[in-house]
Amino acid sequence: MQNELLWYRIGKGPQREYYLANLDLIRVSQIALALSFAFFMAGLAAPHFSTSLHGDLMTLGLLSFYLSVMYLQHPAFTNAMPRRPLSYILLALFALGAAGWLLRAPLAWAPFSALYIALYIPGFKGRNAPPNLITAAGLAALALAASPWRIVMAFPAASAMSLMMRVDSAKRRLRIGIAPTAAFVAAYLVLVCSPLPAPISTALIFTSFIALTRGFYLAKEPYAWGTAVGRSLPLLAPLGFLGLSADHFLYMGISVIMFSLCIPWFVPSVFLRQVPRWPNLLPLLPITASALRLTNYPPLVAASALLLIGGGVYVAAAILRERAFPFGPPP
């Protein structure tokens, strides 16, 4: 009954309904990515007017970005396609969560998290189970999150870690079992919800993740050195005790991961475009922006924002000028 209500197994649903459900999934991913771009552009321009507005917009940008990237790959991660109209219900719950959070309502993200975790149920067995468990833990943490740091450390950070776990496992031929992953998830949830200072929790979570993946994938390709920097920056969050912006070690680390993995690998697929020929030094853009932002020196912080705005415009233009692969008519 659960299978009938929530999803089709890959390749096993009625042909037309399955096609339309897949189209819904893609459309929701596209809407979430467009929202993300709007939130990021507005958020990067907002500090001049309001630092709290800047934080809220950037947080929503990260959430909607990872909703787009993760939801597009949901069938591959779970071997299941959400039935109609669940994709649009999930998007509506996301919008409801965003509005509730902006109004500072308690547990604003709980309905969104509950449905999304339910959609992950078929992915909790087999080789996809370990990274899916991390993603689900991030969604559970999101349900309870209120502050920008906890929200970013919830679904966005968990999604980034689960994606790196998948890629590292493939490139390094690692087998990371369910038991060590469950131990990491338990530590992650305790740290996210604990009263420890955020810089300490940030560093401990990413230290634990690096231990889970047995270090770094070392190679010349941009993914390797870009994500090595991205997952290392949060380790430096305790420098916030010296006056630096502790939370931005996490935020900027995720931005480097986005430009090293999510943007070049996955974002073109959201808009059904051919993958552009990305420059090998693409991750240097967010790395440079991170170095500028973490100085806390206002002119350099402004330069960091301009660099990221330029990077976002470049990425969007590069993708949209590539050849499109439109869907054909429904069967």
The structural domains of the chain, with segments of one domain joined by +, span 2-320
- Residue 13 pLDDT exceeds 80: no
Q: Residue 36 belongs to what H/E stretch?
A: helix 15-45
Which pLDDT does position 30 carry in this prediction? 97
Q: Residue 166's pLDDT band (boundaries 50, 70, 90)?
A: very high
- Strand, helix or coil for residue 81: strand
Structure tokens at 139: 């969604």
- Residue 221 pLDDT exceeds 90: yes
Pairing mode, if any, of strands 80-82 and 7-9? antiparallel
According to CATH, what is the number of the domain 2-320? 1.20.210.10
Tell me what percent of the residues of the chain surpass a pLDDT of 90: 85
Which pLDDT does position 1 carry in this prediction? 41
Q: Which of 7-16, 167-176, 273-282, 297-306 has the lowest mean pLDDT?
A: 7-16
Asked whether 273 and 323 are in contact (CB, 8 A), the reply is yes
Residues 260-285 have a mean pLDDT of: 94
Q: What is the pTM of this model?
A: 0.94
Tell me the pLDDT of the chain averaged across its residues.
93
Q: Residue 261's pLDDT band (boundaries 50, 70, 90)?
A: very high
Q: Which residues of 282-320 are buried (b: 16+ CB within 10 A; e: fewer)?
A: bbbbbbebbebbbeeeeeebebbbebbeebbeebbebbe
Residues 42-55 have a mean pLDDT of: 86
Residues 11-36 have a mean pLDDT of: 92
Q: What is the DSSP secondary structure assignment for residue 258, as one 8-state letter?
A: I
What contacts 307, CB < 8 A, 6 or more positions away?
285, 288, 289, 292
Which pLDDT does position 305 carry in this prediction? 94
Q: What is the DSSP secondary structure assignment for residue 324, as one 8-state letter?
A: B
- Residue 168 pLDDT exceeds 90: yes
Structure tokens at 44: 């990067």
Q: Residue 33's pLDDT band (boundaries 50, 70, 90)?
A: very high
CA atoms within 13 A on the CB side of 266: 26
Task: In whole angstroms, give the CA distance from residue 62 to residue 231.
Answer: 16
Residues 211-228 have a mean pLDDT of: 93
Instruction: Pick the closest to residue 193 from 149, 151, 141 (CA basis).
Output: 141
User: DSSP letters along 125-186, please?
Assistant: SSTTHHHHHHHHHHHHHHHH--SHHHHHHTHHHHHHHHHHHHHHHHHHT----HHHHHHHHH
Tell me what percent of the residues of the chain surpass a pLDDT of 70: 99
Residues 112-137 have a mean pLDDT of: 96
Q: Residue 253's pLDDT band (boundaries 50, 70, 90)?
A: very high
- Residue 2 pLDDT exceeds 50: no
Which pLDDT does position 4 carry in this prediction? 63
